[in-house]
Amino acid sequence: MKRVLLNMAAGALGALVIWLIAEPIPWLTMDLPPGAPINYTAQLVLGALVGAGIGVGLGAAEGIYRGSSVQLTRNVAMGAATGLAGGTIGIYFGQAIFGPLYSFGHGLEHTSLAASFAVQLVARAVGWALMGLFMGAAQGLLTASSQKVRNGLIGGLAGGAIGGFLFQMLWEVVRVPAFSRAIGFTTVGAAIGLGIATADALLKQAWVRVMLGRNEGNEYILTKDLSVIGRDELADIGLFGDRSVGLQHAFIRRTPLGYVLQDAGNSTGTKVNGVPISERPLSDGDVIDIGSFRLEFHEKAGRVPVARPVDVSRPAPSPAAPPGVCPYCGSVPDPVTGACLCSVPAAGQLSASPPPAGVSPATAAVAAPIRSGIRLRCVAGPCAGQSFPIPGALARIGREPGQDIVVSDPTVSRHHAIIREEGGRLTITDEGSANGTFVNGTRVTSSALAPGDEVRLGTSVFRVEAS
């Protein structure tokens, strides 16, 4: 709400200042009768000035909100430039539609006042909406973020339309050109500021809120692939006033699997939920401690462009193989039992030798290898090059020590997945991991496995192999 109100006030004030400058200049504000030739040069100049005024106001609002004098200066300069361009382009296209449509509406006054008013209302709303569209997009360019440009387009379009609508309503009531322009300009400026801030709030996917420290209560929307946290005046999330915070203390990276917090190696360190980290995936509600600051990370469900979990009943692949040869492991099946190297023995066919002292028969049965030579070979990720034999009839995979297969990858959950024998075949089942389990590129909750399949857990990729 703080950002919304600040944007509204800044947009309105910027437009009002331009009105104070332009109104005394007759060449810019001369009122022409309907149907008279339009002074397009004056219109372009006026549109550019209004755009620049609103741009300066919104740029200043962003710098004030972030508490950075450097960003304030930079945003004001960039806001003026982008607003100037957006206002010029917007007024050009807006006037091209507004002029003919408004004249047509005025001509309807002799036949239907209601129709005339409706057409003129639409003309004003459409004209200002187009101006707001380009001005909003120009404000998005301040952050070099496609997401902010999108939000600016949507917010500026909506805000311009609302402002144009109110402008025309006021004109119908007041009918004093100078006063109508003053109210109209400030209304449009406030509406564009409101529209952009509202679009940011509604369309945000992930953000960080300051819970403790300077600028407490501020929210910083993550719109970039890499957001910098630190004491640097140009940091995306500025933590000012604490010398223990590094200039670039930490980074939040947007990855295909989610958002990851990475410490930049400062002596103060970075903690997530009270635990020191060097790099860690973030989840909604995580608390980040940096120096005397406490931040809270939030994200909307479905914010990351990854495939959604689905139950996949995937038939085992059937590669071509000569008659009498197993298509999976390439061995010749036993002529009596039909078993081959990749066959899974039935429970009664497991080794009948007595278990070691202190081990129960049930535990020994679970620990008995069920697939001769089947292993997971890591082909990408922190464990690349390592090979993990499937150790038994049930193998638990995760980051936590004590798992049957321990994967030292921060994007792998402590208890990530289970590989087990089901109906004579290996299957992998996700254990509700944060970043999911993928088989051959498809996210699964449970799926059959065969040699040659590719399994991805977090950022680690494995290939199922039979030796």
User: Does residue 19 form part of some domain?
Assistant: yes
| 190 and 215 part of one domain | no
Domain count of the fold of the chain:
3
The predicted structure's pLDDT at residue 312: 37
Q: How far is CA 197 from CA 9, 131, 141, 154, 177, in A?
A: 12, 17, 15, 10, 30
Closest CA to 105 of 124, 91, 89: 124
Residues 6+ apart with CB under 8 A from 189: 11, 12, 13, 14, 15, 16, 50, 53, 54, 57, 163
Boundary (domain end) residue, out of 245, 264, 299: 299
| 9 and 143 part of one domain | yes
| 245 and 100 part of one domain | no
Burial 25-61 (b: 16+ CB within 10 A, else e): eeebeeeeeeeeeeeeebbbbbbbbbbbbbbbbbbbb
Which residue type does 50 have?
V
Token pair of 166 as six digits: 């109110």
Kindly report the CA angle at 458 between 457 and 463, in degrees rounded to 5? Answer: 35
| 48 and 131 part of one domain | yes
| 48 and 23 part of one domain | yes
Write the DSSP string, 314-329. PPPP-----TTS-TTT
| 260 and 246 part of one domain | yes
| 254 and 111 part of one domain | no
User: Rounded to whole angstroms, how far apart are CA atoms 369 and 74?
Assistant: 65
The predicted structure's pLDDT at residue 310: 37
Residues 6+ apart with CB under 8 A from 413: 398, 399, 431, 432, 433, 434, 435, 458
| 19 and 136 part of one domain | yes
Bridge partners, residue 263, by sequence = 250
User: Does residue 350 form part of some domain?
Assistant: no
Residues 6+ apart with CB under 8 A from 268: 244, 245, 246, 249, 290, 291
The predicted structure's pLDDT at residue 33: 56
User: Does residue 198 form part of some domain?
Assistant: yes
The predicted structure's pLDDT at residue 173: 75
Which residue positions in the chain have pLDDT lower than 50? 303-320, 344-372
Closest CA to 463 of 431, 438, 434: 438
Q: Give the domain extent around 197.
A: 1-203
Residue with tokens 């389990």: 437
User: Rounded to whole angstroms, how far apart are CA atoms 177 and 185?
Assistant: 12
164 close to 185: Cβ distance less than 8 angstroms: no
User: Does residue 178 form part of some domain?
Assistant: yes
381 close to 372: Cβ distance less than 8 angstroms: no
172 close to 119: Cβ distance less than 8 angstroms: no
262 close to 249: Cβ distance less than 8 angstroms: no
Token pair of 7 as six digits: 């944007």
Token pair of 297 as six digits: 């990370």
The predicted structure's pLDDT at residue 290: 93
Boundary (domain end) residue, out of 273, 299, 325: 299
User: Does residue 34 form part of some domain?
Assistant: yes
Closest CA to 167 of 15, 319, 307: 15
| 136 and 259 part of one domain | no
344 close to 374: Cβ distance less than 8 angstroms: no
User: Does residue 327 form part of some domain?
Assistant: no
DSSP symbol at 310: B
Boundary (domain end) residue, out of 244, 269, 299: 299
Where do the DSSP E strands lie in 222-354?
A: 226-230, 237-238, 250-255, 258-263, 270-272, 275-277, 279-281, 287-290, 293-299
The predicted structure's pLDDT at residue 339: 61
Residue 225: give its domain's CATH number.
Answer: 2.60.200.20
CA 135 to chain centre: 23
The predicted structure's pLDDT at residue 350: 39
Which residue type does 226 have?
L
pTM over 0.95: no
Residues 6+ apart with CB under 8 A from 293: 210, 212, 213, 214, 239, 242, 245
User: Does residue 286 form part of some domain?
Assistant: yes
User: Does residue 48 form part of some domain?
Assistant: yes
138 close to 157: Cβ distance less than 8 angstroms: no
| 162 and 211 part of one domain | no
| 108 and 193 part of one domain | yes
| 144 and 211 part of one domain | no
